[in-house]
A and B are shown apart, each in its own frame.
Chain A
């Protein structure tokens, strides 16, 4: 009950912010929330389950393109299109993870890099289906139950996505499955000796987090009402990795902090030093890794002025 109230309060506050912002800040706010949702699920994959995968943005893209294609080209009703999009993400995730997790973790990194590159090629060469390099534009979200979800109301949808992602992952992380994932990350041999099916645990963690990325992608598709290949490239996949590392991998609050800091940093730095903000970004990244491998949340946990 208490946690439900907390969730309701968070949803109310985050939604209220959406109603106060002008169009420019609404756009920043929505994208920040989407980055947070992605960082949360990537944190579970990379930080908790210890899988180095570069396909998270690919699944974001699969979700986004799938819902647009299914709604506009196949003419499916929205709920059906959303379900089909999730199923597609899970199937694709299984197709990647089942062969890759049988091998060393290094091969998952390679396989997912290949998948990410292939996806961009597919988007660019997809003809009518994907709209090629220009992507898909000029579509809009169908009304849901007679309600037009636009403006601040669509921001509420994004808030619900973030809260759902947080609650789902927090519950899983604190369950037997979260412990199994951490055990597999730390010591697969000892995990197996505890009765944990290592390959199965890895595949489930990969499919689950990829499906969450796909879900976030579906929500993203109706933020700008346009989807195009550059958004789903490797650059953003690496940025996501940095967000999780800087915030403190394995920590949900760390992912929120990491995503917030790294997404907002260019907005703060660009007016001051122009494109040199990338340099500042690189230096900050290096300092964090060298000084505190557990990221900003690790810095907080190790604060010297803490009373013991």
Chain B
């Protein structure tokens, strides 16, 4: 959609995953997974239930440490770093079940997403020095811009409790953008959304990718995913069974076989998001 696969802005891939493996006791949830993702690319990660999508997602987000293998961000090994360290390196995420900060306004939620950029010496905060106050004012303006970007500008002073589920998802997107991401991870972004909200989110994700930010999404909703992804990685039983363009994935015999008997079949070729 934006950059054809394989053409990152800085040459090498933004994210590279090599032989990534995660074992839980005797169960191998992810086994030797390989893929890469370039800046400005939307990469979809799909597979039947239990395929290892969430485990992969959590390893990249820093909430699970890999058992083996490498995660490289712009060539630097980041596997096993905790979640807050991944965020500080520009890997931001959204949650499948919205995880907003209750009792805070929309604006404060987004400003919380700017933590890494704003964090400074606490003595400066206590002293009320000018630099801290300027940064806070700029952050507020930036938060309002981001809220306008996702279409929530009018609600910026409201408490998050007033939002619908779909609006919450948009707020999570704005909050992730606030962290100045190189890579955004979306955890089933279409889950629970009405068709119109899905369309709005598709539009926003495309604009994010157009800003040269890498996007990794794991998704159950195939129509949504195939309509938005530049490339797709298909997992089954922790292994990559296919990788490629959405059109090719839909015709891949291994993919069709993996999905047979699953409640969500592969939609007909050419099926795009309505």
Binding site for B on A (CB under 8 A): 168, 171-172, 174-177, 179-180, 182-183, 186-187, 189-198, 204, 208, 250
Asked if A195 and B115 make an inter-chain contact with CB atoms under 8 angstroms apart, the answer reads yes
The listed residue with most B CB atoms (<10 A of its CB), out of A168, A191, A193, A196, is A193
Q: Taking A193-B93, A195-B179 as contacts, is the C-beta distance between A176 and B115 under 8 angstroms? A: yes
Residues of B within 8 A of A183 (CB): 101, 104, 112, 115
Residues of B within 8 A of A196 (CB): 84, 87, 112, 115
Q: B9 near A: Cβ within 8 Å?
A: no
Interface size on B, residues (CB 8 A): 35
Q: Give min CB distance, B150 to chain A, whole Å.
A: 16
Residues of A within 8 A of B95 (CB): 189-190, 193
Q: Taking A179-B112, A183-B112 as contacts, is the C-beta distance between A198 and B120 under 8 angstroms? A: no
Binding site for A on B (CB under 8 A): 61-63, 82-84, 87-88, 92-93, 95, 99-104, 108, 111-116, 118-120, 122, 125-126, 128, 132, 136, 175, 179
Q: Give min CB distance, B199 to chain A, whole Å.
A: 26
Residues of A within 8 A of B99 (CB): 187, 189-190, 193
Asked if A204 and B87 make an inter-chain contact with CB atoms under 8 angstroms apart, the answer reads no
Residues of A within 8 A of B111 (CB): 176, 179
Q: Give min CB distance, A45 to chain B, whole Å.
A: 15
Look across to chain B and name the residue whose beta carbon is closest to the beta carbon of A176.
B118
Look across to chain B and name the residue whose beta carbon is closest to the beta carbon of A4.
B128
Residues of A within 8 A of B118 (CB): 176
Asked if A194 and B119 make an inter-chain contact with CB atoms under 8 angstroms apart, the answer reads no
Asked if A193 and B87 make an inter-chain contact with CB atoms under 8 angstroms apart, the answer reads yes
Q: Give min CB distance, B240 to chain A, whole Å.
A: 26
Q: Give min CB distance, B212 to chain A, whole Å.
A: 20
Residues of B within 8 A of A193 (CB): 61, 83-84, 87, 92-93, 95, 99
**Other contacts beyond A180-B115, A204-B122: 19, CB < 8 A:** A168-B126, A171-B125, A172-B122, A172-B126, A176-B115, A176-B118, A179-B115, A182-B103, A183-B112, A186-B104, A187-B102, A190-B100, A192-B63, A193-B84, A194-B84, A194-B92, A195-B116, A196-B112, A208-B122
Asked if A194 and B108 make an inter-chain contact with CB atoms under 8 angstroms apart, the answer reads no
Look across to chain B and name the residue whose beta carbon is closest to the beta carbon of A197.
B84
The 6 nearest A-B residue pairs measured at CB: A195-B87, A190-B99, A195-B116, A192-B83, A176-B118, A175-B125
Cα(A174)–Cα(B139), bound, Å? 13
Q: Taking A176-B119, A186-B103, A189-B63 as contacts, is the C-beta distance between A194 and B175 under 8 angstroms? A: yes
Interface secondary structure of A, over-half rule: helix
Look across to chain B and name the residue whose beta carbon is closest to the beta carbon of A196.
B115
Q: Give min CB distance, A163 to chain B, whole Å.
A: 14
Q: Give min CB distance, B132 to chain A, whole Å.
A: 7
Asked if A182 and B128 make an inter-chain contact with CB atoms under 8 angstroms apart, the answer reads no
Would you list 26 pairs from A and B whose C-beta atoms are within 8 A, ordered by A residue? A168-B126, A171-B128, A175-B132, A176-B118, A176-B125, A176-B136, A177-B119, A179-B104, A179-B115, A180-B115, A182-B108, A182-B112, A183-B104, A189-B95, A191-B112, A192-B82, A193-B84, A193-B93, A193-B95, A194-B112, A194-B116, A194-B179, A195-B88, A195-B115, A208-B122, A250-B103
Asked if B115 and A172 make an inter-chain contact with CB atoms under 8 angstroms apart, the answer reads no
Asked if B102 and A186 make an inter-chain contact with CB atoms under 8 angstroms apart, the answer reads yes
Cα(A176)–Cα(B115), bound, Å? 6
Cα(A186)–Cα(B103), bound, Å? 9
Asked if B136 and A186 make an inter-chain contact with CB atoms under 8 angstroms apart, the answer reads no
**Contacting residue for A177 out of B63, B92, B122, B175, CB 8 A:** B122
The listed residue with most B CB atoms (<10 A of its CB), out of A172, A176, A196, A204, is A176
Residues of A within 8 A of B108 (CB): 179, 182
Look across to chain B and name the residue whose beta carbon is closest to the beta carbon of A294.
B103
Cα(A189)–Cα(B84), bound, Å? 9
Look across to chain B and name the residue whose beta carbon is closest to the beta carbon of A190.
B99
Cα(A223)–Cα(B62), bound, Å? 52
Look across to chain A and name the residue whose beta carbon is closest to the beta carbon of B88.
A195
Cα(A212)–Cα(B115), bound, Å? 25
Residues of B within 8 A of A182 (CB): 101, 103-104, 108, 112
Asked if B125 and A177 make an inter-chain contact with CB atoms under 8 angstroms apart, the answer reads yes
Look across to chain A and name the residue whose beta carbon is closest to the beta carbon of B99.
A190
Asked if A171 and B126 make an inter-chain contact with CB atoms under 8 angstroms apart, the answer reads yes
